[in-house]
Structure 1
Amino acid sequence: MSTKIEQSIANNNGKVVVIGGGTGQSVLLNGLRAYPLDLTAIITVADDGGSSGTLRDYLRMVPPGDIRNVMATLSNASNDFLHLFQYRFKSDAGFLANHTIGNLMIAALAQENQDISAAIKILSQMMDVQGHVYPVVNDPLTLCATFTDGTTISGEAEITHAHKKIERIWVEDVDGSEPKSEPEVINAILGADVIVLGPGSLYTSILPNISIPNVASALRITPARIIYISNIMTQKGETDDFSDSDHLRVLNKHIGANVIDTVIMNSGLVPEDYIDWQRWDEISHQVKSDPEEVRKQGAVPIMGNLIELRDEGVFHDAQKIAELLYTIIKDPGTGKDSL
């Protein structure tokens, strides 16, 4: 790394904002934390399933699960502490069934301080979290979808289980008012050098964030380079037969302009005989690569073999993605079709 680049990063020019949710966001951040970057995670709060959904309903708080995973990923706490933080009670544990210690800690601090942001700040200090962690809003949201057949469903779990083609996604506050992100979220977007969308479920991890009006507005005016990491596999009932440019089109449509500058696309081939289709029944087929269609939407396609094969499934390789992103951050002119 050159002296110029080191000085640039030392002067806080390596500000990277990762917007998303689910396991993909944590995987990416785990790769990026190996580099000298100022990381910020903006996390969806529309999850309504599992332990997060239960705490959300009982305590009227944002679902803590994705927040917990990101904090654990960025923490410098001991492995023993992190193991306890991530411990999930077994399904036969009565009222504690399937809850994680970390979710309960976040819930307790949020209730004690009457503010989820304060809870995250306190816990971040306790866990020596290297970066900034923000829920996209401080109140739980309801995810809503209109399908191509004209029907409408509310609730992330219900939308996912419907397995129907989605026309549009939006979020609603529990009291019916328009959701609004806090100033620190908007300031992070406006002050970033690079903003990363994904990887993760298009309709349930990424769009719930960018569908918030002031977040979409900030994305339209930020000087940051906006990068989308396209999914490797389509999601059954949601993105069947989607190409990379189809994902991009939906994102730009919900943001309200063609603002995405770069699309990172996988060029590796997924071996059909490797995937356990029963175990990973939410995936369908490999996403089609169509770089020319991506260019037509004003984005630069950057391709590479980004596949990690494990557990009879297909995932993004965190190290490869992080290395590629860091190359882009070091050299903003990066735009080759194959790296």
Structure 2
Amino acid sequence: MTGRKKRNIVVIGGGSGLPVILRPLRDCNVEVTAIVTVADDGGSSGVIRNFMNIVPPGDIRNALVSLSLLPEDFLDIFQYRFDSSDEFFKNHALGNLIIAAMTEMSGDIFGAVQKLGRYMMISGKVYPVANVPLVLHAAFTDGSTGVGEHEITIAHKVIEKLSITTEAGKQPVPTSEVLLAINHADMIVFGPGSLYTSILPNLVIPVVGKAVKESPAKKVYIANIMTQKGETDNYTDASHIKAIYHNVSKNIIDYVLTNTAVVPEDYIDYQKWNEISTQVKVDTNEDRKLGVTPITGDFLKLRDQGAFHDGDKIVRKLLDILDNKIK
């Protein structure tokens, strides 16, 4: 409708899943804010984090690229990952180094990302959930514990409880901009992304979880297409919701979007995507018992011998919810 004020959509997560819906949302008549986890300690981001003691830049980089209006040729350069025998540059994405440089120049990751967002002409906002790198802590059901996203992921154990601290062991403090975005949101979307290492690291920050809980926004969880080995084995969509309730707060989700299109077993390269195990099953009865409205459909995109969300289909459904076409 011409002249209607743009609605605010806040997307919370990280990893490779978040850009799947950020790019199509960028082209809709909405204000988009991506709130991105800063607990990553693996790969190029982990190396930069350890060397420079700054927020890991990888998830931030992907969010900036997804919302950027610059030509694809430039974005390809920003995303370029060095294939070099040099021990420092090997496997580093150029964009990670640029974010690290700008952070060092300004002494503030939040300000650096906002400035870079202007340079990259992003349509929306990208907010690191905190100004300092955070450390993920997991208590496993076997009584053991894990510290750090990478260690928790490779442990391949069932997670009982998740928490997060600063590197000094203190409770994280999100920026005021993060809390304002949540408070002013018309819709808050969780994911798509890894439950325990992309979505929950944001929500288990107590102040963030409380702000989301108290927000009048419509809250939508995008269930994963596939389970993740050692983390969400045998999880249904309702199991994911229960994990969020257990780690954050009950009744923090209004809708769950779950794919029902069948993933062909002979298409998936399980060695290439070693975190994938089985397709997440839908349990609409349990969803409703949890106070969540299930929305099912074909949200599947098959590519690169893996199963992913179709961002365009997901965004169309999100807008239907926003426009009250789905109750």
Say whether residues 1:272 and 2:229 are aligned partners: no
Residue 299 (structure 2) aligns with: 306
CA distance in structure 1 between the aligned counterparts of 2:35 and 2:261, rounded to whole angstroms:
29
Say which is worse superposed, 91-100 or 35-44, in terms of deviation.
91-100
Say whether residues 1:178 and 2:171 are aligned partners: yes
Shift of the alpha carbon at 1:117? 0.9
Say whether residues 1:113 and 2:106 are aligned partners: yes
Residue 326 (structure 2) aligns with: 334
SS of aligned partner of 1:138: coil
CA distance in structure 1 between the aligned counterparts of 2:15 and 2:303, rounded to whole angstroms:
18
Shift of the alpha carbon at 1:79? 2.0
**1:104-128 Cα shifts (integer Å, max 9, x gaps):** 1111111111000110111111110
CA distance in structure 2 between the aligned counterparts of 1:91 and 1:171, rounded to whole angstroms:
34
SS of aligned partner of 1:227: strand
Q: 2:131 aligns with which of 116, 121, 138?
A: 138
Shift of the alpha carbon at 1:41? 0.1
Residue 275 (structure 2) aligns with: 282
Say whether residues 1:39 and 2:26 are aligned partners: no
Shift of the alpha carbon at 1:290? 0.4
**1:234-274 Cα shifts (integer Å, max 9, x gaps):** 00000000001000011122222212000111111111121
* 1:168-247 mapped onto 2 (5 Å cutoff): 168-247=161-240
The aligned amino acid for 2:22 is L
- Count of residues paired in the alignment: 327
Shift of the alpha carbon at 1:91? 4.2
Say whether residues 1:52 and 2:39 are aligned partners: no
Say whether residues 1:17 and 2:10 are aligned partners: yes
Residue 62 (structure 1) aligns with: 55
What RMSD, in angstroms, separates the aligned Cα atoms of the two structures? 1.1
Residue 315 (structure 1) aligns with: 308
Residue 159 (structure 1) aligns with: 152
**1:300-324 Cα shifts (integer Å, max 9, x gaps):** 0011111111111111111111111
Q: Which runs of 5+ in 2 are unaligned?
A: none
CA distance in structure 1 between the aligned counterparts of 2:214 and 2:223, rounded to whole angstroms:
22
Shift of the alpha carbon at 1:276? 1.2
Say whether residues 1:101 and 2:94 are aligned partners: yes
8 Å Cα contact 1:258-1:298 kept in structure 2: yes
SS of aligned partner of 2:18: helix
Q: 1:26 aligns with which of 19, 38, 42?
A: 19
The aligned amino acid for 1:179 is P
CA distance in structure 1 between the aligned counterparts of 2:221 and 2:107, rounded to whole angstroms:
35
* 1:120-135 mapped onto 2 (5 Å cutoff): 120-135=113-128
The aligned amino acid for 2:326 is T
CA distance in structure 1 between the aligned counterparts of 2:131 and 2:149, rounded to whole angstroms:
18
SS of aligned partner of 1:22: coil
SS of aligned partner of 1:137: coil
CA distance in structure 1 between the aligned counterparts of 2:88 and 2:267, rounded to whole angstroms:
38
8 Å Cα contact 1:35-1:326 kept in structure 2: no
Say which is worse superposed, 210-219 or 269-278, in terms of deviation.
269-278
SS of aligned partner of 2:16: helix
Q: Which runs of 5+ in 1 are unaligned?
A: none
Say which is worse superposed, 250-259 or 15-24, in terms of deviation.
250-259
Residue 297 (structure 1) aligns with: 290
CA distance in structure 1 between the aligned counterparts of 2:208 and 2:265, rounded to whole angstroms:
38
CA distance in structure 1 between the aligned counterparts of 2:56 and 2:217, rounded to whole angstroms:
29
**1:145-181 Cα shifts (integer Å, max 9, x gaps):** 0100000010111111111111011111011111111
CA distance in structure 1 between the aligned counterparts of 2:141 and 2:242, rounded to whole angstroms:
16
TM-score, length-normalised on structure 2? 0.98
- Percentage identity across aligned positions? 50
8 Å Cα contact 2:223-2:240 kept in structure 1: yes
